[in-house]
Amino acid sequence: MTSVQDYASRTGWIMLAAIVMFSVGVYRVLSGISYLADSHKINDFTAGFFGDNMWAWGLWDLAIAAIAIWAAFSLLSGGEFGRVIAYLWAILVIVNSFLIIGIAPWFAAAMITLAVLVVYGLASTPLRSAAAQA
């Protein structure tokens, strides 16, 4: 019964942040695998920060995906660690978006928007103390 109460007590913003992070994580896994296969089907970043080293873009995307999925699981379990990792993930995504904004402006703008939504969702939801949870 405790897990049902924990699920019901989550705010919509935390759930939104977790869902955004799951969806971005899955997308980044797919794009990372595509870049490791030296494909340009998703985005052509050959003129970007890592140059024509598409394997570096693949590792970069897989790292962002791992952090996003890890933080989303932690957020859904109510862990404070997930909030910290989600903030770090948002910073990483915003920096990555500024690196690619000249190459893929719509993709970069969409990722900045999603990262800002995650930050707003986390910042607008107060922390619950251990005494309030009991």
Q: Which of the four pLDDT bands, split at 50, 70 and 90, describes residue 69?
A: very high
Average pLDDT over residues 39-61: 67
Q: What is the pTM of this model?
A: 0.69
Residue-level length of the chain? 134
State the pLDDT at residue 8: 47
State the pLDDT at residue 47: 59
Cα separation values, 25 from 29, 75, 96, Å: 6, 14, 14
> CB-side exposure of 110: number of CA atoms within 13 Å?
8
129 against 121, higher pLDDT: 121
Q: Which of the four pLDDT bands, split at 50, 70 and 90, describes residue 71?
A: confident
CA distance 13 to 11: 5
Average pLDDT, the chain: 79
Q: Which of the four pLDDT bands, split at 50, 70 and 90, describes residue 81?
A: confident
